[in-house]
Amino acid sequence: MEVSELENMARSAAEEIAALSDAGELEQHRVKWLGGKGLVRRARASIKQYEGDERVEFARRVNRVAEDVTRVLEAAAERIAAEATARRIAEDWIDPSLPSTAPRRGALHPVRVVELRCVEIMGRLGFEQAEGPEVETSYFNFDALNIPRDHPARDMQDTFWVDEQRLLRTHTTSVQARVLARAGGKPVKVVVAGRVYRNEAVDATHLAMFHQLDGFWVDRGLTFAHFKGVAIHLARELYGERRVRLKPKSYPYTEPSVGIDVECGLCGGGGCPACHDSGWVTIMGAGMVHRNVLQEFGYDPDEFSGFAFGWGLSRMTTQMYGLSKLRPIYRGDLRLLRALDGRPALCV
């Protein structure tokens, strides 16, 4: 094949390719020129027919033809692709000013909303958040918290046991024990939130799994007056300027122990779902950390003192959203969750 013949053919091919508008025809031209049996390949096979400078010049001109054809093919491919895109846009044109049909975005679960609010309030008081395992040992869940072996909570009817030493934690107070064990006798100020498990019959107000929140503060010089100030502040931050009362309670890990109630805000004619017409809603159990718990973790109870408080986030969620039953908030019913989305979490 003569070089002049090849160059003339290449010029003609460039004109043909520039006029193409079909990707299939473009592929045919690529194979014709650059394929395994194409014209450029055949021209390169002819290089051996020449000698010396003629061979070098022939090879150079063949390579130039190959580069020119490649450039023309690439330009045509980009043009044809752009034209195809333009046609699709023209055929599938939409009005960007029309209202969006994007799917509805999700939202935080009501329990999570209340949890974040509680943690944020306590964070402003200097409480740091801590976490712990949900599969706990009997030591941290019971023994370290002054709960004796004959306590009803250790019975299989009340607790989900994994084996003789491990169980599904029955309260987030177990994390307090772990924090104190790591503290090495230093002051601690911690808030804990998470799931807990009780082997209870499921009804309108009880579930086998629910959420709790615990807070505790151990330091030198803390008194019941400090505890009362913090507890009342938390109650009013959560429920507004309502009356708060403290009533005697009994917990193994605190002494003295109290229950904290706030005045109900839903009463109005009987049948109140929040307080059952008592006029008060219980929101937390609390008290001064028991001497035995302090001693268990190396604190001198004559030098250190502390207080702890906790509440059921699940039950608080039903109170704050004005729900009479606990179970619906865990069913995943989108109708209820959408109804509560954006609704102020304070209805008690």
Q: What is the DSSP string of 215-233?
A: EEEEEET--HHHHHHHHHH
Given a cut of 70, whether residue 302 has pLDDT beyond it is: yes
Beta bridge partners of 261: 245, 282
When pLDDT is averaged across residues 214-224 and rounded to a whole number, the result is 93
Q: How far apart are CA 14 and CA 68, in angstroms?
A: 8
When pLDDT is averaged across residues 291-307 and rounded to a whole number, the result is 93
Per DSSP, the chain holds a count of helices (H) and strands (E) of: 11, 9
Higher pLDDT, 140 or 345: 140
| Average pLDDT score over the chain | 83
Residue 242's pLDDT is 82
Higher pLDDT, 143 or 333: 143
Given a cut of 60, whether residue 268 has pLDDT beyond it is: no
CB atoms within 10 A of CB 237: 15
Q: How far apart are CA 141 and CA 176, in angstroms?
A: 10
Which residues are within 8 A (CB) of 227 and not within 5 positions of it... i.e. 6 or more apart?
Answer: 286, 287, 288, 307, 309
DSSP letters along 93-161, please?
---TTSPP-PPPP----HHHHHHHHHHHHHHHTTPEEE---SEEEHHHHTGGGT--TTSGGGSTTTS-B
C-alpha pair distances (Å), 107 with each of 121, 211, 271, 341: 21, 18, 31, 7
Which residues are within 8 A (CB) of 263 and not within 5 positions of it... i.e. 6 or more apart?
Answer: 242, 243, 244, 279, 280, 281
**Of 163-177, 265-279, 289-303, where does mean pLDDT reach its minimum?**
265-279
Given a cut of 70, whether residue 273 has pLDDT beyond it is: no
Q: How far apart are CA 294 and CA 186, in angstroms?
A: 11
Residue 207 is encoded by which pair of tokens? 């579930």
DSSP letters along 190-207, please?
EEEEEEEE------SS--
How many residues are recorded in the chain?
A: 348
CB atoms within 10 A of CB 280: 19
Given a cut of 70, whether residue 301 has pLDDT beyond it is: yes
CB 295 within 8 A of CB 301: yes
Most confident of 48-57, 145-154, 244-253: 244-253
Residue 189's pLDDT is 95
Residue 347: band (very low, low, confident or very high) from pLDDT cuts 50, 70, 90: very low
**Of 46-55, 255-264, 301-310, where does mean pLDDT reach its minimum?**
46-55
Helix (H, G, I), strand (E, B) or coil at 347: coil
Q: How far apart are CA 138 and CA 148, in angstroms?
A: 11
Beta bridge partners of 262: 244, 281
CB atoms within 10 A of CB 160: 15
Q: Is 255 annotated as a binding residue?
A: yes
Return the CATH fold of 110-340. BirA Bifunctional Protein; domain 2 (3.30.930)
Q: How far apart are CA 299 and CA 179, in angstroms?
A: 13
C-alpha pair distances (Å), 12 with each of 15, 42, 65: 5, 18, 12
Given a cut of 50, whether residue 136 has pLDDT beyond it is: yes
CB 325 within 8 A of CB 296: no
Residue 266: band (very low, low, confident or very high) from pLDDT cuts 50, 70, 90: low
Percentage of the chain exceeding pLDDT 90: 31
Given a cut of 70, whether residue 73 has pLDDT beyond it is: yes
